[in-house]
């Protein structure tokens, strides 16, 4: 026969066990929530990094795109500060001009190694009205972005610049004697791009030009 005191003792044990189980379940739920939150942050950061990479890569494509075709050949061989302004947009007729920065010979390595430090001091005879970093607009004249702004509300910007891989004081590569003055030869270019001062990408490309009279 069970005494009343034994029943009270058993009721107390059930309460303790229930509280312990509740505590364990609570800890498991909190741990699961923290894991889910961490995974969400990792996913968001990865998506943000991918967006930045894509934006910077698109800016490189614009920098390269501006050198396509034989038009405006002088602007593709010699730096012209007048082309490095927001007014230099993509043209629907394909007659585009690059922003070719005339870099000081001693700064070519810094242009490659430290693009985040690039300022007007790197370049020769740059106008105070010209830009060292051009705003990304894309490669479609009919669907250009607004002066590099991807998301105006968040102030997200994408920029690019380019220079000759062979410095201004040197000739083109594989150009025949006397042909450099005519704009003939293979010319190499370095391009930088950046997205929100967080992601920096670089590319090189070569163009073969047949000369000013071709």
Task: With a cut of 60, say whether residue 168 has pLDDT above it.
Answer: no
Neighbours of 32 (CB within 10 A): 10
pLDDT at position 151: 58
Determine the average pLDDT of the residues in 75-94: 88
In a domain, 5, yes or no: no
In a domain, 39, yes or no: no
Report the alpha-carbon distance of residue 198 to residue 53 in Å, rounded: 10
Determine the average pLDDT of the residues in 141-169: 72
In a domain, 14, yes or no: no
Determine the average pLDDT of the residues in 32-58: 82
In a domain, 186, yes or no: yes
In a domain, 21, yes or no: no
Total domains in the chain come to: 1
In a domain, 194, yes or no: yes
Report the alpha-carbon distance of residue 123 to residue 113 in Å, rounded: 16
Determine the average pLDDT of the residues in 172-191: 70
Domain span including residue 65: 48-210
Task: With a cut of 70, say whether residue 27 has pLDDT above it.
Answer: yes
Residue 40 tokens, joined: 């969400």
Report the alpha-carbon distance of residue 119 to residue 102 in Å, rounded: 12
Determine the average pLDDT of the residues in 103-129: 75
Backbone angles phi, psi at 67, to 5 degrees: -95, 0
Task: With a cut of 80, say whether residue 154 has pLDDT above it.
Answer: no
Residue 208 — very low, low, confident or very high, per pLDDT cuts 50/70/90? confident
* Residues contacting residue 37 through CB under 8 Å, at least 6 positions apart: none
> What share of the chain in percent tops pLDDT 70?
77
Element (H, E) at 160: strand 156-164
Task: With a cut of 80, say whether residue 125 has pLDDT above it.
Answer: no
Question: Which of 155 and 114 is assigned the larger pLDDT?
Answer: 114
Report the alpha-carbon distance of residue 155 to residue 151 in Å, rounded: 6
Determine the average pLDDT of the residues in 36-57: 82
Look at 5-9, 94-98, 128-132 and tell me which has the smallest mean pLDDT: 5-9
Instruction: Look at residues 99, 100, 118 and name the one whose alpha carbon lies nearest to residue 194.
Output: 118
Question: Which of 153 and 26 is assigned the larger pLDDT?
Answer: 26
In a domain, 153, yes or no: yes
Report the alpha-carbon distance of residue 122 to residue 78 in Å, rounded: 16
In a domain, 177, yes or no: yes
CA-CA-CA-CA dihedral for 79, 163, 95, 82, to nearest 10: -40
């Amino acid at each position: 026969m069970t005494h009343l005191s034994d029943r009270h003792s058993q009721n107390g044990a059930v309460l303790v066990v229930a509280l312990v189980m509740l505590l364990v379940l609570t800890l498991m739920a909190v741990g699961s929530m923290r894991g889910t939150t961490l995974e969400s942050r990792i996913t968001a950061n990865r998506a943000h990094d991918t967006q930045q990479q894509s934006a910077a890569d698109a800016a490189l494509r614009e920098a390269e795109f501006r050198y396509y075709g034989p038009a405006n050949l002088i602007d593709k061989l010699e730096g012209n500060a007048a082309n490095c302004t927001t007014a230099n947009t993509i043209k629907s007729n394909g007659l585009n001009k690059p922003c070719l920065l005339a870099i000081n010979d001693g700064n070519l390595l810094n242009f490659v190694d430290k693009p985040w430090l690039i300022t007007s001091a790197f370049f020769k005879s740059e106008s105070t009205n010209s830009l060292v970093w051009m705003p990304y607009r894309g490669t479609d004249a009919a669907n250009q972005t607004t002066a590099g702004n991807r998301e105006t509300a968040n102030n997200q910007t994408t920029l690019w610049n380019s220079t000759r891989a062979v410095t201004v004081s040197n000739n083109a590569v594989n150009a025949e004697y006397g042909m450099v003055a005519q704009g003939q030869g293979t010319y190499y270019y370095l391009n930088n791009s950046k997205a929100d001062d967080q992601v920096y990408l670089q590319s090189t490309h070569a163009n073969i030009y047949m000369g000013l009279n071709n």
